[in-house]
Amino acid sequence: MDEEEIKYFVRIRNTDLDGTKAVHIALTGIKGVGPHTSRTIAMLADVDPRATIGKLDDESVTRIADAVDTYIEQVPNWMVNRPKDVYTGEARHILGTDLTLAVSDDVNRMRKMRSYRGIRHETGQKVRGQRTKASGRTGTTVGVSRKRG
């Protein structure tokens, strides 16, 4: 293909991907697909990960889309983003808007059961055990108040 025949938008899994980027970088535009997953998908689709995605032929793009859809069946459980689903107990790899809904559902479930993490989410504080004395300040707090006297 010539330089002029580049597709600037490639649509995979209801997401417009940047056609000027390499396959392994463009695939990270899909929510739920990171760098490691994108390289694995490119390998499963038998496509060069460094090839520009907009210059690929339609058959290669279809193979990539099929690899994204059948990713869960082709990889071991430790490579998915939800190795044990809360409700079903099976391994799932959630992508796109389903991932956004699943994360908000998880946070709401933690808030409802009043777990420590749920309470931290509710109050807008750090959740993963970071220090909060000096960093993560919100509101009008500026510094440490000194004792007068």
CB count, 10 Å around CB of 68?
A: 23
- DSSP annotation of 50 reads T
Q: Which domains does the chain have, with CATH numbers?
A: 3-77 (1.10.8.50), 79-123 (no CATH)
pLDDT at 128: 95
pLDDT digits (tens, 9 = 90+) for 65-108: 999 999 999 999 999 999 999 989 999 999 999 999 999 999 99
- Note whether 27 and 47 are within 8 A (CB): no
Q: Which residues of the chain are under the pLDDT cut of 70?
A: 1-4, 141-143, 149
Alpha carbon distance 42, 139 (integer Å)? 45
What residues contact 96, with CB distance under 8 A and at least 6 apart? Answer: 13, 14, 15, 30, 31, 32
Rounded alpha-carbon distances, angstroms, from residue 110 to 80, 92, 122, 125: 22, 20, 10, 14
pLDDT at 73: 94
**Selection from 70, 50, 69, 67 nearest residue 59 by Cα:** 67
Alpha carbon distance 113, 14 (integer Å)? 34
pLDDT at 67: 96
Alpha carbon distance 122, 111 (integer Å)? 7
